[in-house]
Structure 1
């Protein structure tokens, strides 16, 4: 996740430099080398919406800076203060946040973004118990949190220490942001929770006496990707959708029409009829019912007998152990119902990349 509305103010604290991008402390560098991508205060409501801070005042003096924040969000007034102190090879960021009324939050506190270049670097995790784990920042996109119950992280001569809560890390590349995020409040803890004002947390970054070493060597580059001109046009994407009956289909757009058919709903056949009326080949996602899936899929394939199909998938329904995924069972049922019909059968998730990454082992060949 990247937070910026592009109002940038540089802050110079001797060997440490950073940029204040609206309320985000970005590009934290020590002697010219990036140490952290970002430190930011966040307030999330019970639906994961994020409060937008306004910067009321910035004071920079000597080796320190203070930033006053305010936000009127979710019917609540929040006041925050970020205090930044540079002391030789250490930089600390302290946060205090208060609310003027009772407020239920999923997460309120400090969030740190580590740059993507640390991918594959050795990582030492000190837990709140004092126990130590030796792991590495993931090279491949990690579908699950790489580190839990964090008190401190040490890698490449840089140690980041967290105070005020239990922290854990997630791989932000799942959401197309090139970073690793360490955030307060473990997801395993109950949420939402009642905010206890003031929230006080801190992050301290320390570079070893020798200064930050050169980054670890990246993996050798693989075979070069060669792009060749194709005689055919660009890949076609299904840009339309038909999910419910209505007054009539929209004008056809693109080469085919994506249609999701919930076979657990009594009116599913009208969805197919409406989509077929577009005249385009259909890209079909069949969401299976929890019971009698074989019969339901067979009926759907019969209803699609005279409809041109670009491709088709069968997906497990909500509350199924493999919900929102096409797994071996759903694909087997679909292939059996199709029989000899020559239609590309695809697999994946009806959700987003993170869920596909977590459930890729479920998708059959």
Structure 2
């Protein structure tokens, strides 16, 4: 009988063990080790940024980025409703007010045509979040930021190796963040990074990462920071992963094409968009939407697939429907019909880098059985 196929399994068969052994042999396992600087430099070079500041996960990368940009109480930040809670949480924790826009039904990214109508005198920034495989259409966003003097926070957590019009995701706006969770194209187990070209922003993020210690008087604090430090062990794994990023992107695109070809005949599904005029999907995950005339939703489909030993995950639940924000009096009476449909009828199937072709065939057979 076939084994259960998890929704993600990382691929760790490069230099990971070699570099980890080096950490152990030298005793450098903390945040002070040489792999941290190597990884930061290599990552900055990869996304064409001047500075890279590693942190312990992608969520706190957003927290630090928001604080570094001086988002304060009452400041409004426009973001997509269809994203992970970390994005809204970072704004709210800083005292800011999240203002959401609905998403494009084809790319699942924020609908950039809705942004300008949401801008008010209180708007301080636009948080761009690239979703699942395709980037946000950045040119209109950059034009709006320039027109209204707004800051851009680019959450590129899912976009390792992706480009927008041949420019790396993570290179747009004032500050960008990535995640290195195990399901990402580059993983360090847990981890994240902040990238920027701004010297003062980089210095601020490094300080926030390290409890705002002062160089001359370490234990006297002018500001409150966090301990967000990234270990040499994590950096060792990350460096080994980053060495293979082009290979990983190629592998993901091959997997996406495989799924798209074999699932195209399932008429009850809307599959991940392959490309736009500005990018080709890198399939961070392989998502699909159950069409409206199918008499069951994503939760039911996922349960049926689990019974067939196929792991799945639901799509994001919109920020405007999060109970925690409603309790705070935020995002009440907001309607985002596209995101609401995606949240209820969207899910993704196994698509980790370690997935084999035989496993993908098993996934396809199970999906066809559920819908046919």
Band of TM-score, shorter chain: under 0.3
Q: TM-score, normalised by structure 2?
A: 0.21
| Higher helix proportion | 2
Q: TM-score, normalised by structure 1?
A: 0.22
Larger Rg, first or second structure (1 or 2): 1
Could you say which structure has the greater relative contact order, defined with CA pairs below 8 angstroms and 6 or more residues apart?
A: 2
| Higher strand proportion | 1
